[in-house]
Chains A and B, each alone.
Chain A
Amino acid sequence: MKINPEFVTSVITKFIREELNKFGFNRAVLGLSGGLDSTVCAFLAVRALGQDNVLTLIMPYGQTFPQDVEDAKAVVSLLQCRAMIIDIQPMVDAYFHRYPTDNPVLKGNKMARERMAILYDFSAREKALILGTSNKTELLIGYGTIHGDMACGLNPIGDLYKTQIRQLAIWLGVPEKIRNKVPTAGLWPGQTDEGEIGLTYEEIDKILFELVDLRRSRQEVIASGFDPKKVNLVWEMIKRSEFKRRMPPIIKLSSRTVGHDFLYPYDWDK
């Protein structure tokens, strides 16, 4: 699970630069929450493209998490990149005024998709490609909103586990305060990822590394000393979130079908 942060940074920054260049962009936009993942992403983007070519959008819901906004602002002043604060409360409230709910997950999903809609709007306004900020842990256990925070033009950190992002953050010089924050999806005050999932990121990442990177079976992982309940929980989370990692299936009728046997590279003619 150990990484060489300098080498990883060189690969990722080169990837951001070259991929943007291929698609005719020289700017990137990303949502900055004040948490670790989006901060690391912003650090990488500024290294890759320069401070003037990175626009960070800070998109709080009203005054729910004032500390996160302060942390995000601190990142912006550290990086000297471009930033805008856009309060999503009016848009989100307008919707829930018509379709009220007490379910915090529904509210959280709506907020994530509101932020996505703003990012795509600014992507077009600014001719900037959206950088995704979902890490490997979240992608594998499906801890994210489909077409919400998982939506992006390009994901530079999606093959790094949360614990590896922490290693990278130290090397990049991310302030200790942000590195030590308790990870949260910001669904409600006091909510934490680890509290909601029921496992720590260290536990999840170790199990994921065994199951995914080392291709061990659940039985093998359990036999090597991991708690069966935890291994099975992680496995179930992976299984029930596969739909979030895929394009939806298209019914095959013709002899050549999008998503089945119409097969072209993403970087077509680049």
Chain B
Amino acid sequence: MKVVLVQFSPHLGLLDKNLDLHYQFIDRALEEKADLIIFPELSLTGYTLKDLISEVALNPRKNNQLNRLKSYSHKIDIVVGIVEEGNPGLFYNSAVYYSKGEILAIHRKVFLPTFGLFEEGKFFATGRNFKTFPTPFGQVGLLICRDFLHYGASYCLLAGKADLIIILSAAPGRGMSENSGFTSSEMWELMGAAISRFSTAFVLYCNRVGFEDGVVFAGGSFIYDPWGKCLLRGPDIEPAFLSLELELEDLRRARKTWSFLRDDKPEIILNSLQNLLAKNED
């Protein structure tokens, strides 16, 4: 299968303008005969929305603004980031997976960073579920940015037998050293290598670029194979249209060597978690 990661910079608060950009990227992906195109977190709205959230929110199951995206998905699977208004007035930072003219899944971001320069918890409602779902390319799990840094989230996707772990991200670059790039990019790559290897799954991480209110988004999107090997690494801070042919057969090959998935024991993990939580006095 051929996959495309769109490392771009959405316009902050301008849904229609961003939709147009999405159509252009999808057209290009179709020309390259890609099977799946992945956009970054909040790709249709931009990230630093604050009180703009309610103005760009939509319900993808009811709202017809995304119909053209949906019909595009007859030709190519599409993952986009939106502000989802679930129940009226409840705004989620969500990722939507479209395939064959249908919504296959919506993931609502669970871990909303609210510290330092982040204030997502102030504006977004919290998602409450990690799940995997079948797609034409195997079992897929979606995560959004900070979700991926909590390894329990990725564990849930392993327990759900994910073949492809897709992360939509709007990760700011921060921390300087003598090396090129931001030091913060290293933690994403560390996680990418570890999670792909120990889940024997592909990890596809699409991070945005551009500036919002003085913050620079770091780019550096990547794809790791089921052995934990980096297959593709996008440039720092520059926009890029990244496409790659994935050999889905590699899942089988990796799992013949490494039996992490076969040997996993989610029921024991669940039991242990319940025991730990029962004892937790706070």
Contact = CB atoms under 8 A, between A and B. Distances in A.
Q: Do A and B make up one complex?
A: yes
Interface of A: 2-4, 6-8, 10-11, 14-15, 18-19, 262-270
Contacts, number: 63
B121 to A, nearest CB: 14
Nearest to A213: B175
Interface of B: 9, 11-14, 48-52, 173, 176-181, 210-214, 216, 236-237
28 contacts: A2-B178, A3-B176, A3-B177, A4-B176, A4-B178, A6-B180, A7-B176, A7-B179, A7-B180, A7-B181, A14-B237, A15-B214, A18-B9, A18-B210, A18-B211, A263-B50, A263-B51, A265-B13, A265-B212, A265-B213, A267-B48, A267-B211, A267-B212, A267-B213, A268-B12, A268-B52, A269-B11, A270-B12
A105 to B, nearest CB: 30
B13 A268 contact: yes
B204 to A, nearest CB: 25
B13 A11 contact: no
Contacts of B181: 7
Nearest to A6: B180
Top 9 A-B pairs, shortest CB-CB distance: A263-B50, A7-B180, A266-B213, A265-B48, A2-B178, A269-B13, A263-B51, A3-B176, A267-B12
B51 A264 contact: yes
B178 A270 contact: no
A10 B218 CA distance: 12
B175 to A, nearest CB: 9
Contact of B12 (A7, A262, A265): A265
Contacts of A265: 12-13, 48-50, 52, 212-213
B216 A15 contact: yes
Choose among A10, A14, A265, A266 the residue with the greatest number of B CB atoms under 10 Å from its CB.
A265
B237 A10 contact: yes
A15 B13 contact: no
A264 B49 CA distance: 7
Contacts of B52: 264-265, 268
A263 B212 CA distance: 14
A143 B241 CA distance: 44
A77 B268 CA distance: 73
Contacts of B51: 262-264
Contacts of A4: 176-180
A152 to B, nearest CB: 12
Contacts of A6: 180
